Every structure is written in structure tokens, then in C-alpha cells.
């Protein structure tokens, strides 16, 4: 269910998405509120799940992750037990930074980071091909990133 956001709520979430390190005073000033009402609004947005957390944006290359791969996985059968085992095994791989069930000819898409192609090859052979129920794996390497989620999500306009 989509949360109802007024103009001030949209200002707050956009400001926090742009810079989650804003102090409550800075945030209140930007939204033209006093600190207490501003804090209550932010707390409500957190409680309603609009704000799901605060994170530092890390540069994968600065951390040594030179390869970004989109890995499409098809599995044999999607029984409950196999699906749970597959999901748990994928979630246990730290190099898998995103994991989605998808529609289309494949069943899942993983976004994977690796130090280099040799590192990815080892991960593919030792972990990804050995995941429970895997039928096939197709890898697409990112050659150039034009837009990631660094800028965040668009804040929807007011309804109406």
C-alpha cells in the first residue's frame, strides 16, 4: 500500500535520500518546520516504512570490486523446499548484492560483484553452479554504468 505523502513529507524524504547525515535542525530548516514536528514526521515516515533505513553509499571499485555481473538463473523445479534452499544459499553469498525473482524465461536475477574475471569465474564454478536446483546460469557483465541507484528513488508527486 502506497503511503500518503504531503508536500512536506516529500521534501523530507528527498532531503534525507540526498543526504541522510542532515541534522534534525538542518532538516527542520529545509522543511520550514520546528525540530519537534520535523522529528515526529520523520519518525512517522520510518514507522510507515517509507524510510526503511539509513546507509552509506560505498564505491565498489574503491573496495576492489572491479566486476559487476547480472546473473540470470534458471532452476529445475520450484517446489517449496527447493525454493527455500535456493534462496537461503543465494542470500549466504556475500558477493550477491541484489537478488530478485523475475518473470520471463529465467527464474532469478542476481547482481554479483567480483574482484576480477578470475574471481568471478571461481565464484561461478564453486558457488553459483552448485546452488540447489540450478538448471542453467547466464552471465552478463556490466561494461559501463550510466545510472545506478546512487541518486535514489524518485519521490512521487502529490496525488490528485
Note whether 41 and 78 are same-domain residues. no
DSSP 84-127: HHHHHHHHT-TTEEEEEE-SSSSSEEEEEEESSHHHHHHHIIII
Q: Which domain holds residue 42?
A: 7-48
18 in a structural domain: yes
Note whether 69 and 137 are same-domain residues. yes
Note whether 65 and 137 are same-domain residues. yes
SS3 label, residue 74: strand
Note whether 73 and 110 are same-domain residues. yes
- Distance between CA atoms of 14 and 154, rounded to whole angstroms? 8
Whole-prediction pTM value?
0.83
pLDDT tens figures, 42-86: 999 999 999 999 988 888 999 999 999 999 999 987 788 888 999
- Distance between CA atoms of 15 and 21, rounded to whole angstroms? 10
Count of structural domains within the chain: 2
Amino acid at each position: 500500500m502506497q503511503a500518503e505523502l504531503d508536500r512536506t513529507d516529500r521534501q523530507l524524504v528527498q532531503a534525507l535520500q540526498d543526504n541522510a547525515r542532515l541534522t534534525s535542525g538542518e532538516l527542520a530548516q529545509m522543511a520550514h518546520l520546528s525540530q519537534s514536528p520535523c522529528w515526529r514526521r520523520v519518525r512517522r515516515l520510518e514507522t510507515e516504512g517509507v524510510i526503511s533505513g539509513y546507509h552509506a553509499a560505498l564505491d565498489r571499485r574503491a573496495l576492489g570490486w572491479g566486476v559487476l555481473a547480472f546473473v540470470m538463473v534458471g532452476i529445475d523445479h520450484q517446489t517449496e523446499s527447493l525454493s527455500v534452499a535456493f534462496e537461503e544459499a543465494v542470500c549466504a553469498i556475500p558477493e550477491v548484492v541484489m537478488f530478485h525473482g523475475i518473470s520471463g524465461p529465467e527464474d532469478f536475477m542476481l547482481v554479483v560483484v567480483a574482484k576480477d574475471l578470475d574471481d568471478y569465474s571461481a565464484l561461478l564454478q564453486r558457488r553459483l553452479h552448485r546452488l540447489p536446483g540450478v538448471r542453467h546460469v547466464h552471465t552478463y557483465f556490466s561494461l559501463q554504468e550510466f545510472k545506478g541507484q546512487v541518486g535514489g528513488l524518485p519521490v512521487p508527486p502529490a496525488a490528485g
